[in-house]
Amino acid sequence: MAAGRSGTVACAAPAVPRRPLLLSTAAAALQPGPVRLSRSGSGTAAGKLRASPPDAAQAATAAAFAGEEEAFAWAKNDNRRLLHVVYRVGDLDRTIKFYTECLGMKLLRKRDIPEEKYTNAFLGYGSEDSHFVVELTYNYGVDKYDVGAGFGHFGVAVDDVAKIVELIRAKGGKVTREAGPVKGGKTVIAFVEDPDGYKFEIIERPGTPEPLCQVMLRVGDLDRAISFYEKACGMELLRKRDNPEYKYTVAMMGYGPEDKNAVLELTYNYGVTEYGKGNAYAQVKRHGWISFSVVLVYWSWSQHADT
């Protein structure tokens, strides 16, 4: 059984105002006025996060933010980082084996939620308190997902790309692009695929403190995407580079220098304004877009709502 793939990128914002946070971001532009976040239903992520119009009490709380500018200012002034990226896999042990034996990640924790019929596993290059990690979701009985083109790749920084590529090949991993300088640049990269077909760009960047260094998403309008991640998520545009020879522009967004922090790599391919439903990308973009800000604000809120 296959299902559309979707994923979200979550952030932590350890220090946030102690008032209930209302989602008042570019995402709320889809609904009049600020909206409140809540968990409901029993989606794969232990209840889907929903944004819903506020009732009178919530509207009163919304006064806590004088307006959109203040809400955006909050996003900008917060001390935050990219926390984890969550996506679905068809066989948890198969993926854990590949990520630990071929990509050098550690299994950080695993939790089974039988009542919701899914199991999560967190893997990364260090503790979740200080590193960007992956959160894998296995839904009982779903062994295959439709991986399409809106999601581009994860980036893993290593000391020696060629060596990692040979290790992956020796272990039966799928190398889709041999080690060598990136087209139009100098950085040595390679591409491999994990057992579900998610692409990993192996990037030669010795000594980085954050080996899981990129999530690449293809976007249909780069300026719109940059504005969202700046305004709604408080990210900074770290670098923008046009590659006319290869007809794409890339923008790196994040909360700190690219060589020390995980970043969102937004790729605009000339003339491609959306990544079709057929490959389940629209909801990944929309889902990632909404749940990105929802998870971002929810995470902050949930950390303080009960204190």
Ligand X SMILES: C[C@@H](O)C(=O)SC[C@H](NC(=O)CC[C@H](N)C(=O)O)C(=O)NCC(=O)O
Q: Can residue 216 be called a binding residue for ligand X (CB under 6 A)?
A: yes
Q: Between 84 and 205, whose beta carbon lies closer to ligand X?
A: 205
The answer to whether the annotation marks 274 as part of a ligand binding site is: no
CB 9 within 8 A of CB 254: no
- The DSSP bridge pattern shows strands 2-4 and 144-146 to be parallel
| Shortest distance (Å) from residue 151 CB to Zn ion | 12
Q: Can residue 214 be called a binding residue for ligand X (CB under 6 A)?
A: yes
Site size for ligand X (CB under 6 A): 15
The answer to whether the annotation marks 135 as part of a ligand binding site is: yes
Q: Between 123 and 238, whose beta carbon lies closer to ligand X?
A: 238
CB 297 within 8 A of CB 247: no
Residue type, 114: P
Among candidate residues 136, 71, 55, the one with its CA nearest the CA of residue 293: 71
| Shortest distance (Å) from residue 271 CB to ligand X | 11
Residue 269 binds which one of ligand X, Zn ion, none, with CB within 5 to 8 A depending on kind? ligand X
Binding span for ligand X by CB under 6 A among 15-23, 113-121, 124-132, 177-185:
177-185
Among the listed residues 50, 106, 177, 240, the single contact to ligand X using CB under 6 A: 177
What is the Cα–Cα distance from 10 to 15, expressed in whole angstroms? 16
What is the Cα–Cα distance from 303 to 298, expressed in whole angstroms? 8
B/e letters for 211-240, b = 16+ CB within 10 Å, e = fewer, are bbbbbbbbbbebeebbebbbbbbbbeebee
The answer to whether the annotation marks 70 as part of a ligand binding site is: no
Binding span for Zn ion by CB under 5 A among 61-69, 124-132, 180-188, 264-272:
264-272
Q: Quick one: DSSP state of residue 45? A: T
Structure tokens at 78: 């917060």
**Residues written for the chain:** 307
Q: Between 152 and 234, whose beta carbon lies closer to ligand X?
A: 152
Q: Can residue 50 be called a binding residue for ligand X (CB under 6 A)?
A: no
The mark string for 101-130 relative to ligand X (x by CB under 6 A, - otherwise) is ------------------------------
The three-point CA angle 77-237-33 to 5° equals 55
What is the Cα–Cα distance from 139 to 116, expressed in whole angstroms? 9
69, 70, 201, 236: the active-site residue: 201
Torsion of CA 29, 147, 119, 292, to 10 degrees: -20
Q: Can residue 216 be called a binding residue for Zn ion (CB under 5 A)?
A: yes
Task: Tell me if residue 274 is catalytic.
Answer: no
Among candidate residues 70, 58, 4, 64, the one with its CA nearest the CA of residue 31: 58
- The DSSP bridge pattern shows strands 118-124 and 174-181 to be unpaired
Q: Can residue 171 be called a binding residue for ligand X (CB under 6 A)?
A: no
Which residues here bind ligand X, judged by CB under 6 A? 152, 155, 177, 182-183, 201, 214, 216, 218, 246, 248, 250, 265, 267, 269
Which residue numbers belong to the known binding site?
135, 153, 201
User: Given the rule CB under 5 A, which residues bind Zn ion?
Assistant: 155, 201, 214, 216, 265
